[in-house]
């Protein structure tokens, strides 16, 4: 385990602990894992794949409010990850083609509940699988850190 890297991120997180929440617009994220993997390879990052029911899933709403919608996580995301949203909305418009592709991806990755998060390396391999964890952005970042580039 690279403790110097963990210490650096812990310092960044500690400095921003008092920052106000920001609005993470997950709808601006990529919706293509393949495109994100290509970008991650170019930027020496990992891919954060978020399977969500963005407009109906209670756990997803908590994840958004407690983790994704914080300055700490946004800074972590910008530095280490290329974000991807694989969404299954009930009221938000989504094309039949996109919904079919999202269902295919969920089946391939054996997603059975939401939120599900995958960390994918720049070769397209899944290196970590998780979901929502209580405690806020800092513990979540600490949880992900050993699995990102």
Q: For 10-62, how does the pLDDT look when each residue is reduced to its tens digit (9 = 90+)?
A: 444 443 433 333 446 899 999 999 999 999 999 999 999 999 999 999 999 99
| This prediction's pTM | 0.84
- The pLDDT assigned to 149 comes to 82
What average pLDDT does this structure show over 57-84? 97
- The pLDDT assigned to 24 comes to 63
Provide the percentage of residues in the chain whose pLDDT is more than 70.
84
CA distance 55 to 51: 12
Residue 30 is classified by DSSP as: B
Q: Is 52 helix (H, G, I), strand (E, B) or coil?
A: strand
Whole-number average pLDDT of the chain: 88
The domains found in the chain, sorted by start residue, are 3-147 (3.40.30.10)
Query: CB–CB of 9/72 below 8 Å?
Result: no
Kindly indicate the confidence band of residue 6, based on its pLDDT and cuts at 50, 70 and 90: low
CA distance 114 to 36: 21
Bridge partners (DSSP) listed for residue 4: none
CA distance 148 to 118: 11
């Amino acid at each position: 385990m690279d403790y110097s890297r963990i210490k650096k991120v812990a310092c960044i997180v500690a400095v921003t602990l008092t920052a106000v929440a920001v609005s993470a617009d997950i709808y601006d994220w990529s919706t293509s894992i393949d495109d994100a993997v290509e970008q991650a390879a170019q930027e020496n990052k990992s891919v954060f794949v978020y399977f969500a029911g963005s407009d109906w899933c209670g756990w997803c709403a908590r994840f958004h409010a407690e983790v994704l919608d914080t300055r700490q996580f946004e800074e972590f995301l910008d530095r280490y990850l290329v974000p991807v949203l694989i969404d299954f909305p009930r009221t938000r418009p989504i094309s039949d083609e996109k919904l079919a592709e999202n269902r295919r991806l969920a089946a391939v990755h054996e997603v059975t509940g939401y939120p599900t998060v995958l960390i994918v390396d720049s070769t397209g391999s899944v290196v970590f699988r998780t979901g929502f964890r209580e405690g806020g952005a800092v513990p979540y970042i600490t949880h992900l850190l050993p699995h990102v580039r």
